[in-house]
Amino acid sequence: MVRRIRSVLMRGGTSRGLFFHERDLPSDANLVERFLLAAYGSPDPFRRQTDGVGGGASQTSKAAIIRPAAAAGYDVVYRFGQVAIDRPEVDFRGNCGNLSAAVGPFAVDEGLVPAVEPFTRVRIHQENTDTLIVAEVPVRDGRFLETGDFEIDGVPFPGSRIRLHFVRPEGAVTKSLFPTGARQDRFTLPGGRTIAATCIDAANPFVFVRADALGVPGAEIEPFERSAALGEALEAVRRQAAVAMGIASSLEEAGRLNQAVPKVAAVGPPADYVAVNGRPVAAGEITLVARMMSMGSLHRAYAVSGAIATAGAARIPGTVVSEVARVAAENPARVVIGHPSGRIEAEARVAETGGGIVYEEGVVGRTARRLMEGFVLVPERLFAEGRP
């Protein structure tokens, strides 16, 4: 026997995941987690998720749970789940900014908000981080208009531009822009050497280190995919940052239960390089280069939440990101990040007040597409302990 649960497969930015109405899922949180694991084919020791809809990569092992908002100031509530590939875990901490791009289109097409042409503003309560995201969704004839000429690196085809406004993104998980209280900390690498790092929480918790401090040029891609030693060094920094930021109570917990947050990225000054699709990226068209790890593997594009965090850190003096960033004087809010698949642009509006730094808003443009709709089938035995 199998259980059928309605879902929509959507691409948001460079990520992909199943979207569910919360009303269609079990009310028991444990059953929801078990259902998502079965739907995606996890845990899979071969890291392929062959027995589910997951794609064997963190960018394609994501889920969105949506419901109408009851609170004033919001239209819908969006809960994000990062489904582990080789472990029986779904992490509901933090958010996926790329997948967030598909929430507004889903809300329009599912009738959760009135469709207004040419753009519908969808006010999204991002439940994991308790933050507001405002999506400007192109609409025609009462439906999301997905066609357009806006291109994002990491996606082969153009689409309509969805502007995402991350309003007051600081403290998404830790309730503080700089959870350690400092703009730079020092963490220990496996060999005993220490390295400077910036721990920042904006849209998602991130820890940044300089690539040259790790002994690699920031513009290179291959070392981040193939060097076990480099991967171990970045994971060591990430785990220490998780403890320092108050996300995990121990290094062991950071490795076992908190792989999704914080994210870790190595940054460097603008440099020429060749993206994974063979297209050259010129130093003159970017503010900095960044290589981000996600769930232990190189993210071959870049997280939207990472762009928000990176852009904010680039605008704030004293961070390791600001040390390498070349922000244009004529438009300091604009930060262009060179990543393995090309570029991602973000606007970071940061203000210095008497009480410190305020991250007022981060803005990015993304595309999205509705890929498939229907039912996910999972074994009925998963629901033996309760019913939706």
Residues 270, 248 share a domain: yes
Question: Of 147, 145, 166, 144, whose CA–CA distance to 158 is shortest?
Answer: 147
Q: Do both 201 and 335 map to the same domain? A: yes
Task: Tell me, yes or no, whether 39 and 105 share the same domain.
Answer: yes
The token pair at 228 is: 């076990």
Residues 23 and 94 in one domain: yes
* DSSP classification of residue 144: E
170 in a domain, yes or no? no
Do 312 and 376 lie in a common domain?
no
Assess whether 373 and 338 both reside in one domain. Answer: no
Neighbours of 232 (CB within 10 A): 13
Same domain, 116 and 192: no
345 and 260 within one domain: yes
Which CA distances in Å does 342 have to 27, 117, 140, 290, 321?
Answer: 41, 32, 30, 11, 19
Assigned domain for 174 exists: no
The length of the chain is 388
Reported pTM: 0.93
What is the C-alpha separation between 347 and 359, in angstroms, rounded? 11
Token pair 């900095």 in the structure block, residue: 288
| Torsion angles phi and psi, residue 133, rounded to 5 | -120, 125
Domain co-membership, 205 together with 264: yes
Looking at the domain assignment, is residue 177 inside a domain?
no
Is 24 in the same domain as 154?
yes
Torsion, Cα 69 304 316 264, to 10 degrees, reads 110
Name the domain count of the chain.
2
CATH of the domain at 93: 3.10.310.10
Digits of tens for pLDDT over the chain (388 positions)? Answer: 899 999 999 999 999 999 999 999 999 999 999 999 999 999 999 999 999 999 999 999 999 999 999 999 999 999 999 999 999 999 998 999 999 999 999 999 999 999 999 999 999 999 999 999 999 999 999 999 999 999 999 999 999 999 999 999 999 999 999 999 999 999 999 999 999 999 999 999 999 999 999 999 988 999 999 999 999 999 999 999 999 999 999 999 999 877 889 999 999 999 999 999 999 999 999 999 999 998 788 999 999 999 999 999 999 999 999 999 999 999 999 999 999 999 999 999 999 888 789 999 999 999 999 999 999 999 999 887 544 4
State the amino acid at position 344 in one-letter form.
I
Q: Are residues 373 and 266 in the same domain?
A: no
Please report whether residue 6 resides in a domain.
yes
Pair (346, 375) in one structural domain = no
Domain range for residue 71? 2-161+368-383
